[in-house]
Chain A
Amino acid sequence: MGLDGIIVLDNIGRPIIQSGFRSSTTAYPLLHIDAVNNAIQKAASPKEVDPVLYVTPYNTVDKPSACCHVESGDIRMLCPVSGDVDPLVAFAFMQTFIEILREYFGTVSAATLRDNFDVVYQLFEETLDAGGHPLTTSSNALRDIVLPPSLLNKLLNVAGANLNPTINSGVGPSAGPFSSPIPWRKAGIRHANNEVYFDICEELKAVVNKHGTTIASFVRGKVEANSKLSGTPDCLLTFNNSQVLSDCAFHPCVRLQRWSRDKALSFVPPDGRFTLFDYRYSPGAALQNSNNPTRDNIAIPLAIKTNIVLEENGVSFDVTLLSRLSTHALETVEVELCLGEGASGIKCALARGLGGGGFVNASARNAEGSTGASWSYDSKSSILKWRIPVVPPSSSWSLKGSCTTSARAPRPSHAIIVRFEISSHTFSALKVDQLKVTQEQYKPYKGVRGRSSGVVEWRW
């Protein structure tokens, strides 16, 4: 496992900070920065750059290497690897590291990293060993050895006070690092209010062909937890309809044997936010006992009708969006149509069709003028975006327009991409039966919420 190190670049490709590359020459990280920047420059868009780049050595003695890189906000993280290394370890590590940064600084951006470079540097030291071994990445344990930059700390520093608990004071009664027998939870956590919250988030991804038939649709969900429980609580979470869950992937804290036995989640949670598990929703699993994700056939909560006419030097389009939901509203709906290179002179008319009356409609009207819908066009990517903040149940909306293209035969994309969110709704209707907390005396406050989102590719 040789992850040679981590380099963080800002959005114009300049290095912000890098871990110490101790087993290599100083030119090595520079070589990788150049390789990534060159590849981005050459590619049509940064998104299209291969995530694993081959990097030629600058002299014949050195081994060739590869550079794994991901973008996150306005930074790009690079992980050079040499030798026979699993690139997934690199990607998984970078993902984890970004999560840690987010937890430490709230947001991950070039500015926050510059401001807190000393903390980032310490984090590099603690999370990645010079031989490329990931070390401590559980934020619960990290907080013991790298202090997060809290406002209080900074103030105390300025005031010259030093209340740092890890000053050379030896091992405290219980607070020694890694004294906890559970790697993801530190010992002796205390909260004034004991609370635990679960968010069930599901995302639908679907492709619909031009005849309106769904050719692929999958719902993946995850349960995000926020635990503020004192001591070492042992939780047991059970569901009413656990048969809708399949292909689950769990946080290390979940006892996998117990789940295999009776579909109950038994775990000692880490403190704070974490993803308890993710799963695929399979409505068919209960009925036909098949393990086949292609037969899921999840109903898509909207329909699109298109009438797109290709003319010489132009396209005229008429898109209608219809909500198929009867109780919930679709929110922050975004419809994307790529008009093809060189499209210009966009004219659009938006309208609200029939259906979906009632007070939802009225409130939307009050809040957002007539419809609240809007459109915009990005000439760089040739993407026309149509946004509707709220689509009430069974309402219909339309977009009519035209554009001119520089090419004689316009080539707009043959797919319309629709994104949407639905609050207080899950596709699977997964229902928590109960949460039992044992090993501790208190009665915690518990909460569960659901929310869904979706990306549908509608071909025409």
Chain B
Amino acid sequence: MAHPGQDAKFFQRGKIEEFRAELQAAEAKDKRFVKRKTVLKKIVANITMGTDMSPLFPDVVQCLGTPLLEIKKMVYLFLVSYGRSKPDQIHLVIPNFLQDCNDRNPLIRALAIRTMSYIPIPVVTDSLSDNLRHALKDRDPYVRKTAAICVAKLYAADPRRAEKGGFVEMLRDLMLDSNATVVANAVAALSEIGDRQDGVTFKLNLTIANKLLAAIPESSEWGQIYLLDSLLRYVPERHADAELMAERIIVQLQHGNSAVILTTIKALLYLMNYMENRELIDYICKKMGPPLVTLLSSGPEVQYVALRNILLIIQRRPSVLKNDVRVFFCKYNDPIYVKLAKLEIMYRLARAENAKEVLAELQEYASEVDLDFVRKAVRSIGRLAIKVEAAADDCIQALLDLIETKVTYVVQEAVIVIKDIFRRYPGRYEGIIPTLCENLDALDEPEPKAAMIWILGQFANIIDNADELLDDLCYTFLEESTEVQLALLTASVKLFIYKSQADRAKELVHKILKWATEEVDNPDLRDRGFMYWRMLAVNPTVAGEIVLAEKPAITTDSDRMDRGALDQLLLHTGTLGSIYHKNPEASSHKANPALLLMINQTFIRNAAGKALKDSPALNPQSRAVLVPLMRTQLPPTAVNVPGPGPVEPASEKPPSPTNAPVPPSKSDLSNEDQISSPSSLQETAPSTDDKALTDPNDNDPYSNLGGAFGNYLVDAPRPMTGTQGRHGEDEDLLF
């Protein structure tokens, strides 16, 4: 018997036979079905614990005739769990299903339909079809909304039957239902069908899109999410349509549900591509900031998701949150994943105007306890120096102060970034080299060690005792990591070129070349050793020109994501893709093939990809970076949905040309920004001559630390390299 508050004891594992006996006993003299209810409750408890209760199938099914909702619910629960595995016995239940589909109580009608749709066995699907058709036109909205979702289930079980049965058209009609929840569920079902590789294409025309917009205010928050999300399936044909629609949904930014806010922002970002009115775009950008900040007052989990999305949004629309860098200052007790995400955004938002504040914060973080965070903070100081020229002096001073602390890992990080600052601002900060040399002994990790060796080699002409220092470092040459060995090899060659007269330098380079070519197994090191050796032997002057050639200036441009890829990613705003544009655990995607695999799958195989669709309204800035969708695995099935309506016949050529020439993948960011928004001008990184770079990722030391965006480029289905200069001609090919 059920005692209040002691249901937990139902969790004791019961024996099948015992339950069967109890059920049979309950058939007689069961006043108000209390006994049956108790046994069924025990059985359900056992299902939740994972015990196999399927042998009880015939016995439990018997109870379905009981005219009590609570019991029906439990039996249906049982059926949902085991129906699939009992194709030979399921016919026993069909009469009950049919009876319940015609019950007077809408809850029972809906329950029966829903349960049937969960059991993808032909005999069930057969009897479902007719009843589902009735349920879609039921007078009760609860039944209609349940039935709408069931169509998606039926479609999953048997797509052809669903199409032949005209269910897709019925869903389309439901989009005009008077009840907002029904509309939302119809849209959800159509979206689910449309996302399937073999599904009919789900697109919206202006009339239907407007109808859906009208249903938004009355929908539940989940309904609103479906409705707003479906706007991405509407391709505006005129600027005015996109603008009007954006104006109508902008009010949803004030919703209390975080997912509604993010979906609204996603829809707005999408519509902006089709707008012409600059003022409106700027206005929307301004309106998007505060709700994003609001998300940061939620729990750390929501904050994290929001931060990852903000990082994408501010790259595409730099005017969003432009003046709000303080919002992203880390709190001491933020979880580490929130801190790291904030740090990245702080760096993106840093400009000459706020560099001082940001630097002061970063210095504060550098004294915190968490090791990983401190390292990232120190690196960010270096990145700040490279990004904002006006702040470079202060940053260098800050880094020197940090080196002063003698905390090993702080010093190591500082050395790594200072190397890059030397490259960014040649001839400006070499005066601090002696300070760095004093801390040579503190370096015990490969990366800082290699950085320091690079400095020693590069500036061997101004470091008096460079030969001595390099010689010291050479003692352990054979035990060092490849990174350090390579650095030592190059540095010693540079030293020799600077001081070819000095015996010590000659001796050193000889020693290292010999080691590199004879003692080391690593082919890279050996080959480089041979190459240097040959060069020095043939013509030392030319060797000098090559080794000490002017280096391309370092920029922070390449850790900004390519615009086309950004546009695509933004269509995934608030999806797993937007979270994982950088993996917070692994320092680099390269180190995590599993993650790469996942991104590939969520973007290409599984999610069927999303891409901006071309239309006359697409504005030139977005068109310039348009990336066509590669959805080649399955040709769209030729299903004709007759009549005018939102579901366009799939036989129509999909707007994304599957075999179109590959478009330019690298747009000229700074040019674009000048056209698109004056505010983004300041955002363009200080360095301008990235034209000189052949492959920016090579020159940018931060491509790992930054968003690891390089990997997205790899993931995007198009070739990556060498497209920089060919922008113009590719564009012709595309249009």
Q: B568 to chain A: closest CB distance in Å?
A: 12
Given the known inter-chain contacts A88-B259, A121-B77, A145-B107, please indicate yes or no for A414 contacting B368, CB distance below 8 A: yes
Contacting chain A: which of B200-208, B292-300, B542-550, B559-567? B292-300
* B290:A280 contact, CB within 8 angstroms: yes
**Which residues of chain A in 6-41 are interfacial with respect to chain B, using CB atoms and an 8 Å cutoff?**
17-18, 20, 22, 26
Q: Is the CB of A161 within 8 A of B584?
A: no
B218 touches A183 (CB 8 A): yes
Which 8 pairs, one residue from A and one from B, show the smallest C-beta to C-beta distance? A84-B607, A154-B4, A51-B301, A247-B290, A415-B332, A170-B104, A86-B574, A134-B222
| Contact residues in A for B306 (Cβ distance below 8 Å) | 88
Q: Are B107 and A166 in contact (CB-based, < 8 A)?
A: yes
**A183 touches which of B104, B181, B584 (Cβ 8 Å):** B181
Q: How far is the CA of A418 from the CA of B367 in the complex (A)?
A: 20
Could you tell me if A207 and B331 are in contact, using CB atoms closer than 8 angstroms?
A: yes
Q: Is the CB of B142 within 8 A of A18?
A: no
- A184 and B580 CA atoms in complex are apart in Å by 35
CB neighbours (8 Å) of B361 from chain A are 215
Are A277's CB and B256's CB within 8 A? yes
Do the beta carbons of A17 and B48 come within 8 Å of each other? Answer: yes
Would you call B118 and A130 a contact (CB within 8 A)? yes
Decide: A54 and B364 in contact? CB cutoff 8 A: no
Tell me if B658 is interfacial: C-beta within 8 Å of chain A. no
> Given A157-B34, A249-B255, A91 and B218 touching (CB < 8 A)?
no
Residues in A153-189 with C-beta less than 8 Å from chain B: 154-155, 157-158, 160-162, 164, 166-171, 176-178, 183-184
Interface: A275 (CB within 8 A): yes
Q: Indicate if the CB atoms of A84 and B576 lie closer than 8 Å.
A: yes
Contact A131 B222 (CB under 8 A): no
Chain A min CB distance to B409 (Å): 12
Kindly provide the distance from the CB of A179 to the nearest chain B CB, expressed in whole angstroms.
Answer: 8
Question: A-facing mask of B374-395, CB < 8 A → 1, else 0?
Answer: 0000000000000000000000
Report the stretch among A254-262, A312-320, A370-378 that lies at the interface. Answer: A254-262
If the complex has contacts A118-B44, A168-B103, are A256 and B217 also in contact, measured as CB distance less than 8 A? yes
The residue from B297, B575, B597 contacting A85, defined by CB atoms under 8 A apart: B575
Q: Which residues of B have CB within 8 Å of A209?
A: 360, 364
What CA separation (Å) do A257 and B297 show in the bound complex? 25
Of B62-70, B267-275, B484-492, B637-645, which stretch is located at the interface?
B62-70
B81 at the interface (CB under 8 A from A): yes
**By the criterion CB–CB under 8 Å, are A84 and B4 in contact?**
no
Q: Chain A residues near B583: list those with CB within 8 A.
A: 54
Given A92-B258, A280-B294: A256 touches B251 (CB 8 Å cut-off): yes
Contact B574 A20 (CB under 8 A): no
Given the complex, which residues of B lie within 8 Å of A216, measured CB to CB?
A: 326-327, 329
The residues of A that contact B106 with a CB separation of less than 8 Å are: 171, 176-178
New A-B pairs, 12, CB < 8 Å, besides A86-B262, A215-B329, A216-B327: A26-B50, A84-B606, A91-B299, A93-B222, A131-B152, A154-B4, A164-B69, A178-B145, A209-B364, A216-B329, A246-B290, A292-B323
How many Å lie between the Cα of A247 and that of B327 in the bound state? 14
Q: Is the CB of A155 within 8 A of B575?
A: no
Q: Mark B452-465, 1 if CB is under 8 A from A, else 0.
A: 00000000000000
Q: Are A20 and B81 in contact (CB under 8 A)?
A: yes
Known contacts being A48-B335, A161-B32, is A252 close to B48, with CB within 8 Å? Answer: no
A353 within 8 A of B: no
Interchain CB contact under 8 A, A116 and B263: no
Contact of B326 among A47, A86, A215, A220 (CB under 8 A): A215
Asked if B261 lies at the interface with its beta carbon under 8 angstroms from chain A, I say yes
Q: Distance (Å) between the CB of A291 and the closest chain B CB?
A: 7
Residues of B within 8 A of A47 (CB): 300, 335
Q: B575–A91 contact, CB under 8 A?
A: no
Q: Which residues of A contact B69 (CB under 8 A)?
A: 164, 166-168
Docked-complex contact B301 and A115, CB < 8 angstroms = no
Partner of A252, one of B153, B192, B220: B220
Q: B105 to chain A: which residues have CB within 8 Å? A: 166, 168-171
Give the CA-CA distance A87 to B295 in the complex, in Å.
14
A169 contacts which chain B residues (CB < 8 A)? 105
Chain A residues within an 8 Å CB radius of B41: 118
Whether A64 is near chain B, meaning CB under 8 Å from some CB there, is yes
Check A121 against B290 for contact (C-beta < 8 Å): no
Determine if A248 and B254 form an interchain contact, defined as CB atoms under 8 angstroms apart. Answer: yes
Q: Interface with A: B5-13, B431-439, B684-692, which one?
A: B5-13
Residues of B within 8 A of A251 (CB): 256
CB closest chain-A residue, reference B114 = A129
Whether B585 is near chain A, meaning CB under 8 Å from some CB there, is yes
Report if A294-B327 is in contact (Cβ < 8 Å); known contacts: A183-B220, A256-B217.
yes
Task: Tell me the smallest distance from the CB of B214 to a CB of chain A, in Å.
Answer: 13
Q: List 29 A-B contacts (CB under 8 A).
A: A1-B226, A1-B229, A20-B81, A22-B80, A22-B118, A54-B595, A64-B594, A84-B603, A89-B225, A92-B302, A117-B7, A131-B149, A134-B222, A138-B220, A157-B37, A162-B34, A166-B107, A171-B105, A183-B220, A209-B364, A247-B294, A249-B261, A249-B291, A260-B251, A291-B290, A293-B293, A413-B369, A414-B364, A414-B367
Residue B575 contacts which of A86, A93, A177, A220 (CB distance < 8 angstroms)? A86
Partner of B256, one of A89, A176, A252, A414: A252
Interface contact A84-B577, CB-CB below 8 Å: yes
Pick the contact of B291 from A85, A160, A247, A341 — CB < 8 Å?
Answer: A247
Chain A residues near B21 (CB-CB < 8 A): none
Q: Give Cα A160–Cα B367 distance, bound, in whole angstroms.
A: 68
A52-B305 contact, Cβ under 8 Å, with A88-B259, A249-B254 = yes
Q: Give the Cβ gap from B577 to chain A, nearest Cβ, in Å.
A: 6
A residues lining the B interface (CB < 8 Å): 1, 17-18, 20, 22, 26, 47-48, 50-52, 54, 56, 63-64, 66, 68-70, 81-89, 91-93, 95, 111, 114-118, 121-122, 125, 129-131, 133-138, 145, 151, 154-155, 157-158, 160-162, 164, 166-171, 176-178, 183-184, 205, 207, 209, 215-216, 218, 220, 246-252, 255-257, 259-260, 275, 277-278, 280, 291-294, 338, 340-341, 411, 413-415, 417, 457, 459
A86 and B295 CA atoms in complex are apart in Å by 15
B258 adjacent to A91 (CB under 8 Å): yes
Complex interface: chain A residues within 8 A of B660 (CB):
none
* Residue ID in chain B nearest A184 by CB atoms: B220
Within 8 A of A (CB), among B320-370: 323-327, 329, 331-333, 335-337, 357, 360-361, 364, 367-369
**Cα distance A115–B41 in the bound complex, in angstroms:** 12
Assess the A68–B301 pair: CB atoms within 8 A: yes
User: Is there contact, CB below 8 Å, between B597 and A340?
Assistant: no
Query: Within the assembled complex, what's the spacing in Å between the Cα atoms of A170 and B191?
Result: 34
Q: Is the CB of A51 within 8 A of B304?
A: yes
| B49-89 interface code vs A (CB 8 A; 1 in, 0 out) | 01000000000000000011110011001001100000000
A176-B140, A183-B219, A414-B367 given; A66·B576 CB < 8 A: yes
Task: State which of A50, A81, A459 has its C-beta within 8 Å of the C-beta of B576.
Answer: A81
Among residues of A, the one whose C-beta sits closest to the C-beta of B178 is A181
Given A145-B107, A216-B327, A247 and B577 touching (CB < 8 A)?
A: no
Q: How far is the CB of A154 from the nearest CB of chain B, in Å? A: 4
A92 and B255 CA atoms in complex are apart in Å by 13
- B32 nearest in chain A by CB position: A162
Contact B67 A294 (CB under 8 A): no
- B674 contacts the other chain (CB 8 A): no
How far apart sit A439 and B573, CA to CA, in the bound complex (Å)? 42
Residues of A within 8 Å of B218, CB to CB, are: 183
The CA-CA distance from A157 to B152 in the complex, in Å, is 38
Complex contact A249–B602 (CB within 8 A): no
Report yes or no: A63 in contact with B606, Cβ–Cβ below 8 A. Answer: yes
Residue B180 contacts which of A131, A171, A183, A257 (CB distance < 8 angstroms)?
A183
Chain A min CB distance to B507 (Å): 41
B residues 143-172 near A (Cβ < 8 Å) are 145, 149, 152-153, 156
Chain A residue contacts of B74, Cβ below 8 A: 118
Which residue of A is nearest B33, CB measured? A162
Inter-chain contacts of A51 with B (CB < 8 A)? 300-301, 304-305, 337
